[in-house]
Structure 1
Amino acid sequence: MKTLHGQHIYLRALEPEDLDFVYQLENDATVWEISQTQTPYSRFLIRQYLDNAQQDIYEAKQLRLAICKNETFEAIGLIDLFDFDPKNKRAGIGILIQHPDNRNSGYGKEALELLIAYAKDYLHIHQLFANISVSNLPSINLFTSFGFELIGIKKEWIFNDGNYSDEAFYQLIIKK
Protein backbone atom coordinates (compact mmCIF):
# COMPACT_ATOMS: atom_id res chain seq x y z
CA MET A 1 0.00 0.00 0.00
CA LYS A 2 1.75 3.13 -1.20
CA THR A 3 -0.66 5.34 0.75
CA LEU A 4 1.37 4.98 3.91
CA HIS A 5 4.76 5.22 2.20
CA GLY A 6 6.68 8.47 2.07
CA GLN A 7 10.03 9.53 0.75
CA HIS A 8 12.00 8.52 3.87
CA ILE A 9 9.58 6.57 6.07
CA TYR A 10 6.53 4.36 5.94
CA LEU A 11 3.78 3.54 8.40
CA ARG A 12 2.84 -0.05 9.12
CA ALA A 13 0.61 -2.03 11.45
CA LEU A 14 2.11 -3.21 14.71
CA GLU A 15 3.54 -6.72 14.65
CA PRO A 16 4.35 -9.23 17.41
CA GLU A 17 8.03 -8.42 16.74
CA ASP A 18 7.37 -4.88 18.05
CA LEU A 19 6.97 -6.18 21.61
CA ASP A 20 10.37 -4.95 22.84
CA PHE A 21 9.98 -1.57 21.12
CA VAL A 22 6.50 -0.90 22.52
CA TYR A 23 7.62 -2.21 25.93
CA GLN A 24 10.52 0.29 25.98
CA LEU A 25 8.31 3.20 24.90
CA GLU A 26 5.47 2.46 27.31
CA ASN A 27 7.90 2.07 30.22
CA ASP A 28 9.96 5.18 29.47
CA ALA A 29 8.98 7.48 32.35
CA THR A 30 10.28 10.52 30.43
CA VAL A 31 7.32 10.26 28.03
CA TRP A 32 4.64 9.36 30.58
CA GLU A 33 3.51 12.98 30.70
CA ILE A 34 2.73 12.80 26.97
CA SER A 35 0.94 9.45 27.16
CA GLN A 36 -0.74 10.21 30.49
CA THR A 37 0.72 7.01 31.94
CA GLN A 38 1.57 6.65 35.60
CA THR A 39 2.59 3.03 35.94
CA PRO A 40 4.79 0.63 34.00
CA TYR A 41 3.28 -1.95 31.66
CA SER A 42 4.23 -5.62 31.80
CA ARG A 43 5.41 -7.52 28.76
CA PHE A 44 2.32 -9.70 29.19
CA LEU A 45 -0.07 -6.73 28.90
CA ILE A 46 1.79 -5.35 25.89
CA ARG A 47 1.73 -8.78 24.23
CA GLN A 48 -2.06 -8.86 24.78
CA TYR A 49 -2.33 -5.35 23.33
CA LEU A 50 -0.33 -6.38 20.25
CA ASP A 51 -2.52 -9.46 19.83
CA ASN A 52 -5.56 -7.16 19.68
CA ALA A 53 -3.93 -4.29 17.78
CA GLN A 54 -5.23 -5.60 14.47
CA GLN A 55 -8.82 -4.69 15.37
CA ASP A 56 -10.54 -2.46 12.85
CA ILE A 57 -10.47 1.24 13.74
CA TYR A 58 -14.28 1.27 13.68
CA GLU A 59 -14.29 -1.38 16.40
CA ALA A 60 -11.29 -0.32 18.50
CA LYS A 61 -11.80 3.46 18.00
CA GLN A 62 -8.05 3.80 17.61
CA LEU A 63 -5.27 3.02 15.17
CA ARG A 64 -1.63 2.80 16.19
CA LEU A 65 1.00 2.50 13.49
CA ALA A 66 4.75 2.00 13.63
CA ILE A 67 6.94 4.61 11.94
CA CYS A 68 9.80 2.93 10.07
CA LYS A 69 12.63 4.20 7.91
CA ASN A 70 12.14 3.01 4.33
CA GLU A 71 15.15 0.70 4.33
CA THR A 72 14.22 -1.10 7.58
CA PHE A 73 11.40 -2.98 9.29
CA GLU A 74 12.43 -1.69 12.73
CA ALA A 75 10.17 0.96 14.26
CA ILE A 76 11.59 4.36 15.22
CA GLY A 77 8.32 5.72 16.58
CA LEU A 78 4.58 5.41 16.82
CA ILE A 79 1.73 7.49 15.45
CA ASP A 80 -1.86 7.12 16.62
CA LEU A 81 -5.38 8.03 15.80
CA PHE A 82 -7.45 7.79 18.99
CA ASP A 83 -10.94 8.66 20.20
CA PHE A 84 -12.09 7.93 16.65
CA ASP A 85 -15.66 9.14 16.22
CA PRO A 86 -16.98 7.99 12.82
CA LYS A 87 -20.36 9.69 13.28
CA ASN A 88 -18.81 13.13 13.73
CA LYS A 89 -15.82 12.27 11.53
CA ARG A 90 -13.09 13.25 13.99
CA ALA A 91 -10.16 11.71 15.83
CA GLY A 92 -7.27 12.65 18.06
CA ILE A 93 -3.76 12.26 16.73
CA GLY A 94 -0.49 11.71 18.57
CA ILE A 95 3.07 10.96 17.58
CA LEU A 96 6.25 9.89 19.36
CA ILE A 97 9.69 9.35 17.86
CA GLN A 98 11.63 7.21 20.31
CA HIS A 99 15.29 8.10 20.05
CA PRO A 100 16.47 11.73 20.15
CA ASP A 101 18.80 11.02 17.19
CA ASN A 102 15.72 10.45 15.02
CA ARG A 103 13.92 13.58 16.21
CA ASN A 104 14.14 16.80 14.22
CA SER A 105 15.06 14.75 11.15
CA GLY A 106 11.78 15.17 9.29
CA TYR A 107 10.49 11.67 10.13
CA GLY A 108 7.72 12.95 12.39
CA LYS A 109 6.66 15.52 9.81
CA GLU A 110 6.50 12.93 7.07
CA ALA A 111 4.58 10.49 9.33
CA LEU A 112 2.07 13.19 10.26
CA GLU A 113 1.60 14.12 6.60
CA LEU A 114 0.95 10.48 5.66
CA LEU A 115 -1.54 9.91 8.49
CA ILE A 116 -3.45 13.13 7.79
CA ALA A 117 -3.81 12.08 4.13
CA TYR A 118 -4.90 8.58 5.17
CA ALA A 119 -7.45 10.00 7.65
CA LYS A 120 -8.85 12.29 4.96
CA ASP A 121 -8.84 9.94 1.98
CA TYR A 122 -9.70 6.59 3.59
CA LEU A 123 -11.50 7.38 6.85
CA HIS A 124 -13.15 10.57 5.54
CA ILE A 125 -12.18 12.43 8.71
CA HIS A 126 -13.38 16.03 8.86
CA GLN A 127 -11.28 17.12 11.83
CA LEU A 128 -8.26 16.02 13.81
CA PHE A 129 -7.21 17.24 17.23
CA ALA A 130 -4.02 17.10 19.26
CA ASN A 131 -3.37 17.67 22.96
CA ILE A 132 0.12 19.12 23.42
CA SER A 133 1.92 20.35 26.52
CA VAL A 134 2.49 24.10 26.16
CA SER A 135 6.19 23.51 26.84
CA ASN A 136 6.55 21.03 23.95
CA LEU A 137 7.57 23.56 21.30
CA PRO A 138 8.81 21.00 18.74
CA SER A 139 5.37 19.31 18.71
CA ILE A 140 3.55 22.63 18.59
CA ASN A 141 5.68 23.69 15.62
CA LEU A 142 5.11 20.35 13.90
CA PHE A 143 1.33 20.42 14.22
CA THR A 144 0.93 24.11 13.39
CA SER A 145 3.02 23.59 10.24
CA PHE A 146 0.10 21.44 9.00
CA GLY A 147 -2.49 24.06 9.82
CA PHE A 148 -3.54 22.87 13.28
CA GLU A 149 -4.92 25.86 15.16
CA LEU A 150 -4.79 26.57 18.86
CA ILE A 151 -8.36 26.25 20.13
CA GLY A 152 -7.74 26.62 23.85
CA ILE A 153 -5.54 26.02 26.84
CA LYS A 154 -6.45 23.54 29.54
CA LYS A 155 -5.07 25.22 32.67
CA GLU A 156 -3.01 23.14 35.11
CA TRP A 157 -4.13 20.05 33.19
CA ILE A 158 -1.06 17.86 33.69
CA PHE A 159 0.40 16.99 37.07
CA ASN A 160 4.00 15.81 36.73
CA ASP A 161 6.95 15.84 39.15
CA GLY A 162 4.95 17.75 41.74
CA ASN A 163 3.94 20.55 39.39
CA TYR A 164 0.95 21.40 37.23
CA SER A 165 1.37 22.45 33.63
CA ASP A 166 -0.98 23.62 30.93
CA GLU A 167 -2.00 21.58 27.90
CA ALA A 168 -2.95 23.15 24.58
CA PHE A 169 -5.76 21.84 22.40
CA TYR A 170 -5.08 22.07 18.66
CA GLN A 171 -7.55 21.34 15.88
CA LEU A 172 -7.31 20.84 12.14
CA ILE A 173 -10.45 21.12 9.99
CA ILE A 174 -9.74 19.05 6.89
CA LYS A 175 -10.98 20.62 3.68
CA LYS A 176 -12.17 18.31 0.92
Structure 2
Amino acid sequence: MVKLKNDMCSLRAVDTDDLEFIYELENNPALWEFGHTLTPYSKLTIREYLENAHRDIYEVKQLRLGICNAQNQIKGVIDLYDFDPYHKRAGVGVVINQESDRAKGLATAALELMVDYAFDHLRLHQLYAGIAQDNYASRKLFEKLRFRESGIKKDWITTQDGYKDEYLYQLINEKL
Protein backbone atom coordinates (compact mmCIF):
# COMPACT_ATOMS: atom_id res chain seq x y z
CA MET A 1 0.00 0.00 0.00
CA VAL A 2 1.32 3.43 -0.97
CA LYS A 3 1.54 5.73 2.04
CA LEU A 4 1.67 9.42 1.24
CA LYS A 5 0.75 10.74 4.67
CA ASN A 6 2.39 11.06 8.05
CA ASP A 7 1.70 13.05 11.23
CA MET A 8 3.13 16.26 9.76
CA CYS A 9 1.88 16.33 6.18
CA SER A 10 0.36 14.56 3.23
CA LEU A 11 1.38 14.47 -0.40
CA ARG A 12 -1.27 14.65 -3.11
CA ALA A 13 -1.54 15.19 -6.82
CA VAL A 14 -1.71 18.83 -7.87
CA ASP A 15 -4.77 19.80 -9.89
CA THR A 16 -6.53 22.82 -11.35
CA ASP A 17 -7.75 23.84 -7.88
CA ASP A 18 -4.10 24.64 -7.12
CA LEU A 19 -3.77 27.15 -9.97
CA GLU A 20 -3.31 30.25 -7.78
CA PHE A 21 -0.85 28.50 -5.47
CA ILE A 22 1.31 27.14 -8.31
CA TYR A 23 1.11 30.49 -10.13
CA GLU A 24 2.42 32.28 -7.03
CA LEU A 25 5.12 29.64 -6.46
CA GLU A 26 6.39 29.58 -10.05
CA ASN A 27 6.39 33.37 -10.33
CA ASN A 28 8.30 34.06 -7.11
CA PRO A 29 11.65 35.47 -8.34
CA ALA A 30 13.28 34.56 -5.02
CA LEU A 31 12.78 30.88 -5.92
CA TRP A 32 13.82 31.03 -9.57
CA GLU A 33 17.45 30.25 -8.88
CA PHE A 34 16.51 26.93 -7.28
CA GLY A 35 14.43 25.78 -10.22
CA HIS A 36 16.69 27.34 -12.85
CA THR A 37 13.80 29.51 -14.07
CA LEU A 38 14.46 32.74 -15.93
CA THR A 39 11.00 34.05 -16.78
CA PRO A 40 7.53 34.12 -15.25
CA TYR A 41 4.82 31.65 -16.24
CA SER A 42 1.35 32.67 -17.39
CA LYS A 43 -1.78 31.34 -15.75
CA LEU A 44 -2.65 29.71 -19.08
CA THR A 45 0.65 27.80 -19.14
CA ILE A 46 0.18 26.67 -15.54
CA ARG A 47 -3.45 25.70 -16.16
CA GLU A 48 -2.39 23.57 -19.14
CA TYR A 49 0.31 21.95 -17.02
CA LEU A 50 -2.17 21.22 -14.21
CA GLU A 51 -4.68 19.74 -16.67
CA ASN A 52 -1.99 17.25 -17.70
CA ALA A 53 -0.42 16.68 -14.28
CA HIS A 54 -2.29 13.39 -13.93
CA ARG A 55 -0.12 11.76 -16.61
CA ASP A 56 1.98 8.79 -15.53
CA ILE A 57 5.57 9.28 -14.36
CA TYR A 58 6.69 6.60 -16.84
CA GLU A 59 5.25 8.70 -19.67
CA VAL A 60 6.33 12.23 -18.71
CA LYS A 61 9.41 11.35 -16.61
CA GLN A 62 8.40 13.62 -13.75
CA LEU A 63 5.97 13.79 -10.84
CA ARG A 64 4.90 16.84 -8.86
CA LEU A 65 2.96 16.42 -5.63
CA GLY A 66 1.51 19.08 -3.38
CA ILE A 67 2.69 19.19 0.23
CA CYS A 68 -0.28 19.74 2.52
CA ASN A 69 -0.11 20.50 6.23
CA ALA A 70 -2.22 18.75 8.87
CA GLN A 71 -5.12 21.09 8.02
CA ASN A 72 -4.90 19.93 4.36
CA GLN A 73 -3.68 23.34 3.12
CA ILE A 74 -1.14 23.21 0.31
CA LYS A 75 2.14 24.75 1.48
CA GLY A 76 4.66 23.53 -1.06
CA VAL A 77 5.53 21.00 -3.73
CA ILE A 78 7.89 18.09 -4.07
CA ASP A 79 9.07 16.85 -7.43
CA LEU A 80 10.65 13.80 -8.93
CA TYR A 81 12.33 14.85 -12.18
CA ASP A 82 14.61 13.31 -14.80
CA PHE A 83 12.99 9.97 -13.93
CA ASP A 84 15.03 7.21 -15.53
CA PRO A 85 13.30 3.81 -15.20
CA TYR A 86 16.16 1.94 -16.89
CA HIS A 87 18.82 3.14 -14.46
CA LYS A 88 16.23 3.34 -11.66
CA ARG A 89 16.96 6.89 -10.54
CA ALA A 90 15.37 10.31 -10.33
CA GLY A 91 16.16 13.79 -9.15
CA VAL A 92 14.18 15.14 -6.23
CA GLY A 93 13.41 18.72 -5.25
CA VAL A 94 11.26 20.25 -2.56
CA VAL A 95 10.07 23.80 -1.90
CA ILE A 96 7.88 25.35 0.76
CA ASN A 97 6.41 28.51 -0.75
CA GLN A 98 6.11 30.96 2.15
CA GLU A 99 9.07 31.69 4.38
CA SER A 100 6.71 31.67 7.40
CA ASP A 101 5.97 27.97 6.71
CA ARG A 102 9.64 26.94 6.49
CA ALA A 103 11.77 25.41 9.25
CA LYS A 104 8.71 23.73 10.77
CA GLY A 105 9.36 20.17 9.61
CA LEU A 106 7.11 20.13 6.52
CA ALA A 107 9.92 19.69 4.00
CA THR A 108 11.51 16.95 6.11
CA ALA A 109 8.22 15.08 6.44
CA ALA A 110 7.47 15.46 2.73
CA LEU A 111 10.94 14.31 1.67
CA GLU A 112 10.67 11.26 3.95
CA LEU A 113 7.39 10.33 2.27
CA MET A 114 8.82 10.86 -1.22
CA VAL A 115 11.91 8.77 -0.46
CA ASP A 116 9.70 5.93 0.76
CA TYR A 117 7.45 6.24 -2.31
CA ALA A 118 10.39 6.31 -4.72
CA PHE A 119 12.19 3.37 -3.15
CA ASP A 120 9.27 1.15 -2.10
CA HIS A 121 6.68 1.85 -4.82
CA LEU A 122 8.74 2.92 -7.85
CA ARG A 123 11.58 0.61 -6.78
CA LEU A 124 14.26 3.18 -7.60
CA HIS A 125 17.88 2.47 -6.84
CA GLN A 126 18.78 6.08 -6.11
CA LEU A 127 17.60 9.65 -5.73
CA TYR A 128 19.75 12.70 -6.27
CA ALA A 129 19.52 16.44 -5.76
CA GLY A 130 21.54 19.41 -6.95
CA ILE A 131 21.81 22.07 -4.25
CA ALA A 132 23.48 25.47 -4.48
CA GLN A 133 26.56 25.83 -2.27
CA ASP A 134 24.94 28.56 -0.17
CA ASN A 135 21.56 26.85 0.30
CA TYR A 136 22.48 25.64 3.77
CA ALA A 137 18.90 24.83 4.79
CA SER A 138 18.45 22.43 1.84
CA ARG A 139 21.86 20.86 2.33
CA LYS A 140 21.03 20.25 6.00
CA LEU A 141 17.61 18.82 5.08
CA PHE A 142 19.00 16.33 2.58
CA GLU A 143 21.88 15.35 4.87
CA LYS A 144 19.40 14.73 7.70
CA LEU A 145 17.70 12.16 5.46
CA ARG A 146 21.00 10.36 4.69
CA PHE A 147 21.68 11.96 1.30
CA ARG A 148 25.45 12.23 0.88
CA GLU A 149 27.43 14.82 -0.99
CA SER A 150 29.01 13.02 -3.93
CA GLY A 151 30.36 15.82 -6.10
CA ILE A 152 30.61 19.50 -6.86
CA LYS A 153 29.71 21.16 -10.13
CA LYS A 154 32.03 24.17 -10.23
CA ASP A 155 30.60 27.55 -11.31
CA TRP A 156 27.35 25.75 -12.21
CA ILE A 157 24.80 28.44 -11.33
CA THR A 158 24.91 31.93 -12.81
CA THR A 159 23.90 34.71 -10.44
CA GLN A 160 23.91 38.48 -10.62
CA ASP A 161 27.12 38.38 -8.58
CA GLY A 162 28.90 35.78 -10.70
CA TYR A 163 28.85 32.00 -10.38
CA LYS A 164 28.32 29.55 -7.59
CA ASP A 165 28.93 25.86 -7.20
CA GLU A 166 26.20 23.25 -7.04
CA TYR A 167 26.61 20.25 -4.75
CA LEU A 168 25.36 16.87 -5.92
CA TYR A 169 23.70 14.77 -3.23
CA GLN A 170 22.73 11.12 -3.63
CA LEU A 171 20.78 8.60 -1.63
CA ILE A 172 21.30 4.98 -2.63
CA ASN A 173 18.52 2.48 -1.88
CA GLU A 174 20.34 -0.20 0.10
CA LYS A 175 17.28 -2.49 -0.04
CA LEU A 176 17.70 -3.19 -3.76
Q: Give the root-mean-square deviation of aligned CA atoms.
A: 1.0
State the one-letter code of the partner of 2:24. Answer: Q
Contact 2:2-2:117 within 8 A present in 1 as well: no
1:6 counterpart residue number: 6
Residue pair 2:2, 2:121 contacting (<8 A) in 1 also:
no
The 1-side partners of 2:160 and 2:11 are apart by 33
1:128 aligns with 2:127: yes
CA contact (8 A) 2:75 2:96 kept: yes
Q: Counterpart in 2 of 1:68? A: 68
User: Residues 13-162 of structure 1: matches in 2 within 5 Å?
Assistant: 13-72=13-72, 74-162=73-161
Number of residue pairs matched by the alignment: 175
TM-score by length of 1: 0.97
Q: Gapped runs of 5+ residues in structure 1? A: none
> Residue by residue, what CA displacement relative to the aligned partner does 1:86-119 show, whole Å, maximum 9, x if unpaired?
1111000000001111111001000000000000
Change (3 A) 1:108 1:100: same
Question: Residue deviations 1:137-165, cap 9 Å, x none?
Answer: 01000001111111111111111224211
| Residue identity in the other structure for 1:102 | D
Structure 2 residue ranges without an equivalent (≥5): none
Q: Percent identity?
A: 48
